[in-house]
Amino acid sequence: MADDGSKQEPDLTRPLNRPRSEKDKTIRHQAVPDDEVDEHAKPTQLSLRRIDFDALDAPGAEPTIKSVRIQDEDVPVKITAPESKPSLWNRLPSLGPGGTVAGVAGLLVGTILLGLIVALTIRAVRVSDALNPFEEDLAIPTATPNATPDPSFLVPTVPAFTRPEKVVVLLMGADTRPSERGEVRPRTDTMILLMADPVNGRGSMLSVPRDLYVEIPGYGIHRINTAYQFGGGQLAMDTIQYNLGVSVDYFVMVEFEVFVTLVDEIGGIQVDVPTTIYDPGFPDDNFGYDPFYIEAGSQWMDGETALKYARTRHGDNDFERARRQQDVIFAVQEQVIRLDMLPTLIERAPALYSALSQYVRTNMTLEGMIELAIVAQDIPQEQIRSGVIDADYTTGYRTPGGASVLIPDRESIGDLLNEVFWLDAPSSAESRP
């Protein structure tokens, strides 16, 4: 104490006297948090408490401040905080209680949304029943129905196709120019009905000509290849059922890029070409020409060659082109089975699925496609019946507007359906004693 009776300010240049334990311990001064500062102390002063030396025995333990008495009195002592770079958290402006609550709430909501986006994205790639990248482009408007369906065109659904063990897919191919993609739905110049019957180990493939002149429900009589253009995949499936009586479970609309990629992915295909083809007027992607030539005989084709072979109709007609397309599909199946490539394709399916999303529209999930591919692989080609609705089942007709179309002979088409879709053969369940 000073002689005048005032309290003497302690000398902070000397270390505080403290008891010593068996180990020499170092005092570490720590500022008391703001909410623990003595409100009566001067702004430049902070209350200190004695460091608990016993708590320092634990390795890496931080000192805690409990109490301090200087000359038997609690006094505020001036200290200088050690120089250190403030943390990012300490440099942030104070938001106050309301701001803190809002920040925590925003962080929580953001975390939930991020987790939801990641989960949906993963599920879309792996399963594709969410954010399906192959779904139809809803931005393209559907044409407004302008006609009442004609009941005389309605064909009763064939009972055999209501059996759950059979799966029928409408495969459509479109000639979409790059400038048209995303603007309008294309006409589907290729339409093939595929049926898989895993219970009986059978399959079917029926090509429907693009010029078949039929009732499109709600739109009147048009070429069948305009159904997808008018109303998308659902209308195309409805049109098939309305006119052929076949209930379709799924549709797949693909563009040329998908076909080329698939054939190249499996290393090409071997196709028996019955006659030499030279097509100087084969179209390219920009309304020009890309002449195509291939000799008769067994030919190995990459994706581009197989596409041209499936598309050309120079020297023949749409019916022969449909048969070439079926030959290509059989060749793809044979190549996949021969090289046991299905496991590799399944492994690469998510990547292919994502890369080709702009060229495919379907109501099938990736999981459904894989399951169908596994089923189809187990059906031998000798158990797959194929057919084409050609001149034997149609009559040529020129409309008042000058368009060449095909009028279906429904009775003879019914006979073709019975044969191609195994309606004339008993099922395995029916053949059991």
In order, the DSSP letters of 126-142 are HT-SSS-TTS--TTSPP
Angle between helices 318-338 and 303-311 (to 10 degrees): 150
Q: Which two tokens stand for residue 122?
A: 């993963």
Per-residue pLDDT tens, the chain, 433 aa: give them.
445 555 454 444 444 444 444 444 433 444 444 444 444 444 434 333 333 434 444 444 444 444 444 445 554 444 444 444 454 445 445 556 555 555 555 655 566 656 555 555 545 444 444 445 455 554 555 666 655 555 555 554 444 444 457 899 999 998 766 656 666 788 898 999 999 998 899 999 999 999 999 999 999 999 999 999 999 999 999 999 999 999 999 999 998 888 999 999 999 999 999 999 999 888 877 778 889 999 999 999 999 999 999 999 876 789 999 999 999 999 999 999 888 888 888 888 878 877 888 888 999 888 888 888 888 888 999 999 999 999 999 999 999 989 999 999 988 999 999 999 998 877 655 544 4
Please, what is the Cα angle at 353 between 350 and 359, to 5 degrees?
170
Q: Which two tokens stand for residue 230?
A: 């008018």
Residues 6+ apart with CB under 8 A from 183: 140
Q: What is the pLDDT of residues 26-79, one digit of tens each?
A: 334 444 444 444 444 444 343 333 334 344 444 444 444 444 444 455 544 444
The pLDDT score that the predictor gives to residue 316 is 75
pTM score, whole prediction: 0.65
The pLDDT score that the predictor gives to residue 66 is 43
- In order of their start, the domains of the chain are 1-81 (no CATH), 151-431 (3.40.630.190)
How far, in Å, are 206, 252, 331, 422 from residue 381 at the CA level? 14, 22, 10, 14
How far, in Å, are 10, 16, 79, 171 from residue 71 at the CA level? 10, 12, 17, 95
Q: How many CA atoms lie within 13 A of 216 on its CB side?
A: 25
User: 204-228 b/e with 16+ CB inside 10 Å = b?
Assistant: bbbbbbbbbbbbbbbbeebbbbbbb
* Of 210, 204, 209, 238, nearest in space to 420 by CA: 204
The pLDDT score that the predictor gives to residue 163 is 47
Q: Which two tokens stand for residue 55?
A: 């708590």
Residues 6+ apart with CB under 8 A from 52: 63, 64, 66
| Dihedrals phi, psi of 57, to nearest 5 degrees | -65, -30
Nearest-angstrom CA–CA distance, 232 and 174: 12
